Amino acid sequence: MNIYFLDQALDNEELEFIKSTLKKRHGGLSFSDIKQVRVPAVLPAPNEDGSYSENIIERLRIARRNLLRTDIEKQAGAPVIWIMPKGAHWGTVFQLAIQELTGYFPFIVLLWRQDGKTLVRTEARFIDNSGMVTHVNDATINS
């Protein structure tokens, strides 16, 4: 299982916390070979008003292209971990790209929180969203 990140990897203590949490919740997964992988990313800057010239589809293509440089396609069919970057917008776009490339929404690690206008580094928080999303193709829709 790989841990993907844009701007900051986990330290040893945080990595052990994530392994322990995953083992409790998903004992059948293998955690001995967890590897942290930096996603090389060149991302467009926002406009002065905070919006982007690129639409969401174009931003998703940019995220996929950056993720493919990490060989994430080898993780297809298996869950991965995504460390949310300081820029939450891009973090969300990358989550969608990870789902498209692996077939799973990633487990999330949060390292940052907003304190007024200041971004503050916090202890690692783990979000297991594996049971929160149902694929539309798997749901029966009665009309």
The stretch 32-61 carries a mean pLDDT of 86
- Is the per-residue pLDDT at 22 higher than 90? no
Q: Do 119 and 132 form a contact (C-beta atoms < 8 A)? A: no
Instruction: State yes or no: pLDDT of 57 exceeds 80.
Output: yes
On average, the pLDDT of the chain sits at 84
Residue 135: pLDDT band with limits 50, 70, 90:
very low
**pTM of the model as a whole:** 0.84
Q: Where are the chain's structural domains?
A: 2-40+54-129
Does residue 49 carry a pLDDT above 50?
yes
Closest-CA residue to 103 (of 126, 69, 137, 127): 137
Whether 102 shows a pLDDT value over 60: the answer reads: yes
Label residue 29 by pLDDT band (50, 70, 90).
Answer: low
Q: Is residue 27 predicted with pLDDT exceeding 80?
A: no
At residue 11, the pLDDT reads 94
Q: Which position has the token pair 């594996």?
A: 130
* 8 A C-beta contact, residue 90 and residue 63: yes
Name the residue with tokens 């298996």. 78
| Residue 6 DSSP SS3 | coil
| 8 Å CB contact between 106 and 4 | yes
In this predicted structure, the answer to whether residue 2 has a pLDDT above a threshold of 70 is yes
Q: DSSP letters along 46-83, please?
A: PPTTS--SS-HHHHHHHHHHHHHTTTGGGGTTS--EEE
Note whether 109 and 36 are within 8 A (CB): no
CA distance 3 to 108: 9
pLDDT higher than threshold 90 for residue 97: yes
> What's residue 50's pLDDT?
79
Report whether pLDDT(108) > 70: yes
Give the model's pLDDT for residue 44: 84
| Burial class, 67, CB count within 10 angstroms (exposed 0-12 / middle 13-18 / buried 19+) | buried
